[in-house]
Each structure stands twice: as C-alpha cells, then as structure tokens.
C-alpha cells in the first residue's frame, strides 16, 4: 500500500483551520554523516512527512493560515549531474503537482522568499529550540520584516511551537495511518515467527537479527523501526541491549524486541521464547505472570480509561506474581503503592506508537493522565528482569522476560495490531516444533 497524497493535503487543511492565523514553517530532517563521506540511511522528519508525504531531504513546508490559506513546498531542484549519482529528485514543478501544493520553489530561494511570506502575519510557528542554526535563520527572516516597519509592514509578534498542534493531530490515527500500522505490525509479526523458526542453540544473536531484518526488508519494510534487541539469557536483563554479539545457549530464553517501519510507521514487538523450543518449569511460571499482566493491561486500553490504566493493571498482576514467587510479601495495594516491584520491573508499560516508535503526543494534561480515545495507538509491554542480587533466588537469576504488543484503542475491545506474533506458551512451542 502506497501513501495517499490526498491524505496529506487534507491534514494540512485541517491544521490550517486549527491554526486560524499565522504562518507555520516546518523543515524535514537533514542527511546525517556516518563516517567521512558515508551517510546513514536517510529518514525524513516525522512531523514534516505527516503533513507532506514528501520523502526527500532539504525540504521545507510553509503553511499560511487565514482568509487566503496557502501551502508551499521548498525542495531541491532537478539536477541531472546529481541524479546520475544519487537518483531521482522531484524538483519543484513535479513536487507541486504530485504532492498537492499551491506552489513549490527551489530550496535555494528560501531566504529570499520567506520574509515576504511573514509580512503582516500575527504569528509564526516553527519547532523552536531544536536547532540553533535554524532558530537564527527564522529570527533573521523576522528581523528582515521588522526592517520594513517604516513602510508600514508589521512583523510577527508571537512565536508558536509548531509541534504542539501537530502532536495533537498525530495522537489520533486516521484510517490511512491504521492501515499502514497494521501492515508494519503484520510484517513485524512475521519476522518474530521466522526468528522462532530459525532459532537453535549455538547460533549467534546476530544470526537471529539477520533473519529478522531479512523478513522485514523482504516483506517491504523500508528499515527496522529501531535498533533490534536480540538478547539471549542474561542479556535480556539489559533493557537496551543492542550488541547482539553473543552465542545462544541451550536452556536459556531469548528476548527479541524488534519491528519494522512501513512507509514511515513503526511497529514495536517483543517476544521472549526458549532457545531450544521448550520452556523450562521456572521460565514458564514467570512467563505466565508477565503474560497475565499483559492481558490485563491490554484489556485496560479502553476509551475514557486513563493512559496510565494499562500500567496500573500490569503492576497489580506483576506484584501478585512477585508475591507468588516469594520475592515479596504483603497485600497487593500496599506493595504497589510502595513500588515494591521496582527492583524487577523498572520501566513503564507502554508509550504512544506511530510515525515514531516513541510517538508524538501528550501523556498528561495539567498534570493529569490523558484519557484514552478511539484512534490512539500504544504499546503494552510489561516485563520482569532478575539480575543476580541479594534478593534473587538462584533459579530466577538472569531471567529476563518482556512481552510487547501494539494496541489500537477502539470504541469496543482494544484491537491488538500485532496479534499474529505467537505469544502463548503453547503457540510458541508449536511454532518452534515445526523447525
């Protein structure tokens, strides 16, 4: 499924209406050097892409609100020489038509054209404070307008954080976005299934990473949505383990947190399964606790519940589990209140998901957790991690388990976008038996 460019224009129209008056300026991400003259793979800025669908670097979106709304794109010119080396560029003329702008100009004309677009506008919105050079540039345009005061021209008198308005839009996914997210989720679930099928004792974590990325890329994902975590045994207790350079041992669990990006949209899946295909008794006992916590948390992702409700639901089940494992004693309310679970569960249960894996959008408003609404997408990812320490019995040492799915809040039951990734003990063991 390809991005639908009418969708982006409709988003710009909606934003202009919300803005009411003033000018918004949004630049896409710059290209980044990896080393010497080698670049990182290019990834556009999510806010810019959400509104434009335009994939090239060196591009700026200018939206003018008011009685005569206008939508401009500044982008690279066609360049036969550069296109021989680096490939196709739209150039302003094709970009205007293809992406539905009122006008498009060469990016080299930005400094010359911007001041006149700011004349007599009450306010200007951009992502201030993100890049000092960009701040200086916008101030330069504003000062250029101020320089015309004696000619009766007024300059913008207030600044607006452009991201705040767009964050609020991005928090509620439209049907187009849900389709792309479902595709990212399906391809990522297939990658986890393939990893389960490929896994054998003695393989390297990097070989499983290779299998994951192979399936994602072959399925049509442009890139992994984030650096894959492929963590065998004790490595699962390192929350952001990305070295993926150790051998997988018979009897250990393997925690994989990996997913793809599809036309800009991220999935985010974690599965934990036995390297040899069969859960041991203690592994299974802990796994069932995390799984039950996740089920309770997913069930709490319903309209009018707070963003924190899934976390609270997970905490209760995990804390009960820690009591059952004899790591804690006491009644659940008090233990949760005292955060007694913290030595073994130190992260939150989820985050917004979308164009960014940790997506845009407020979590609290005026200090109060946001209420969930249909169209919001979040992850649900409880875990338990037993680093060796004075309170951890030997049979639990180095066990690390997380289970993560992506959930769309709907008017009814939560929709688990990543349900195709095997998750129950029986389903995982069955998939691994097929090897």
Q: Which residues of this protein are in contact with Mn ion, per CB under 5 A?
A: 257, 268, 379, 404
Give me the count of residues in the chain: 435
Nearest in space to 101 (alpha carbons), one of 12, 174, 33:
12
Q: What is the 3-state secondary structure (H, E, C) of 328-394?
A: CCCCHHHHHHCCCCCCCCCCCCCCECCCCCCCCCCCEECCEECECCCCCEEEECCEEEECCCCCCCH
Tokens coding 229? 């975590």
Question: Which residue number, 96 or 351, has a Cβ lying nearer to ligand GLY?
Answer: 351
Contact indicator for 178, 415 with CB cutoff of 8 Å: no
The phi-psi region of residue 66 (left if phi > 0; otherwise alpha if psi is between -120 and 50; otherwise beta) is: left
Based on the residue annotation, tell me whether 358 is a catalytic residue of this protein.
yes
Show contacts with ligand GLY in window 347-386 (CB under 6 A): 351, 357, 381
Question: Which residue number, 211 or 404, has a Cβ lying nearer to Mn ion?
Answer: 404
Smallest separation (angstroms) from ligand GLY to the CB of 231: 12
| Among 121, 205, 381, 405, the one annotated catalytic | 381
Q: Would you count residue 252 as binding ligand GLY (CB under 6 A)?
A: no
Question: Which residue number, 92 or 232, has a Cβ lying nearer to ligand GLY?
Answer: 232
> Angle CA(96)–CA(170)–CA(263) in degrees, nearest 5?
60
Member of 49, 74, 126, 226 binding ligand GLY (CB under 6 A): 226
Member of 268, 356, 405, 406 binding ligand GLY (CB under 6 A): 268
Binding-site size, ligand GLY (CB under 6 A)? 7
Smallest separation (angstroms) from ligand GLY to the CB of 21: 38
Show contacts with ligand GLY in window 393-412 (CB under 6 A): 404
Q: Would you count residue 344 as binding ligand GLY (CB under 6 A)?
A: no
Contact indicator for 361, 170 with CB cutoff of 8 Å: yes
Based on the residue annotation, tell me whether 93 is a catalytic residue of this protein.
no
Based on the residue annotation, tell me whether 34 is a catalytic residue of this protein.
no
Smallest separation (angstroms) from ligand GLY to the CB of 307: 15
Q: Report what 226 binds from ligand GLY, Mn ion, none; CB cut-off 5-8 Å by kind.
A: ligand GLY
Which long-range CB contacts under 8 A does 39-46 form with residues at least 24 apart? 41/223, 43/223, 44/264, 46/170, 46/264, 46/354, 46/355, 46/356, 46/360
**How many CB atoms sit inside 10 A of residue 249's CB?**
15
| Among 45, 252, 268, 359, the one annotated catalytic | 268
Based on the residue annotation, tell me whether 192 is a catalytic residue of this protein.
no
Binding mask 291-330 for ligand GLY (x = CB under 6 A): ----------------------------------------
**From CA 303, how far away is CA 409, in angstroms rounded?**
7
Based on the residue annotation, tell me whether 268 is a catalytic residue of this protein.
yes
Nearest in space to 408 (alpha carbons), one of 303, 313, 334, 295:
303
Tokens coding 300? 């709490």
Residues belonging to the active site: 37, 240, 257, 268, 347, 351, 358, 381, 385, 402, 404
Q: Which residues bind ligand GLY (CB under 6 A)?
A: 226, 257, 268, 351, 357, 381, 404
């Amino acid at each position: 499924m390809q991005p639908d460019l009418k969708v982006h224009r409709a988003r710009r129209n909606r934003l202009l209406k919300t803005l009411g008056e003033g000018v918004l300026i949004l630049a896409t991400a710059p290209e980044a050097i990896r080393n010497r003259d080698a670049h990182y793979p290019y990834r556009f800025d999510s806010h810019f892409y959400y509104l434009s669908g335009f994939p090239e670097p060196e591009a700026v979106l200018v939206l003018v609100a008011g009685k005569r709304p206008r939508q401009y794109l500044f982008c690279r010119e066609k360049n036969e020489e550069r296109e021989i080396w680096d490939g196709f560029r739209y150039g302003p003329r094709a970009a205007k038509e293809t992406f539905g702008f009122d006008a498009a100009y060469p990016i080299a004309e930005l400094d010359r054209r911007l001041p006149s677009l700011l004349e007599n506008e009450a306010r200007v919105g951009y992502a201030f404070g993100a890049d000092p050079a960009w701040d200086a540039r916008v101030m330069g345009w504003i000062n250029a307008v101020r320089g015309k005061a004696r000619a009766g021209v007024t300059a913008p008198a207030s600044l607006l954080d452009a991201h705040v308005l767009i964050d609020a839009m991005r928090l509620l996914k439209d049907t187009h976005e849900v389709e792309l997210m479902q595709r990212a989720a399906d391809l990522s679930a297939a990658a986890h299934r393939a990893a389960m099928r490929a896994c054998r004792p003695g393989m390297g974590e990097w070989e499983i990473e290779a299998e994951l990325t192979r399936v994602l890329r072959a399925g049509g994902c442009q890139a992994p949505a984030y650096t894959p975590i492929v963590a065998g045994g004790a490595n699962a207790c390192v929350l952001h383990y990305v070295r993926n350079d150790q051998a997988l041992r018979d009897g250990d669990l393997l925690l994989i947190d990996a997913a793809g990006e599809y036309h800009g949209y991220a999935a985010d899946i974690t599965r934990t399964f036995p390297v040899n295909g069969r859960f041991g008794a203690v592994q299974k006992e802990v796994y069932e606790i995390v799984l039950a916590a996740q089920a309770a948390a997913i069930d709490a992702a319903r309209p009018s519940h707070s963003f924190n409700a899934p976390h609270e639901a997970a905490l209760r089940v995990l804390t009960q589990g820690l009591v059952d494992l004899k790591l804690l004693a006491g009644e659940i309310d008090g233990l949760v209140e005292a955060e007694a679970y913290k030595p073994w569960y130190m992260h939150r249960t989820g985050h917004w998901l979308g164009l960014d894996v940790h997506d845009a959008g407020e979590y609290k408003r005026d200090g109060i957790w946001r209420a969930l609404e249909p169209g919001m997408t979040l992850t649900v990812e409880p875990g338990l991690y037993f680093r060796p320490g004075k309170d951890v019995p030997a049979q639990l040492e180095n066990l690390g388990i997380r289970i993560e799915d992506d959930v769309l809040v709907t008017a009814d039951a939560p929709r688990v976008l990543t349900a195709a990734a095997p998750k129950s003990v029986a389903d995982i063991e069955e998939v691994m038996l097929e090897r």
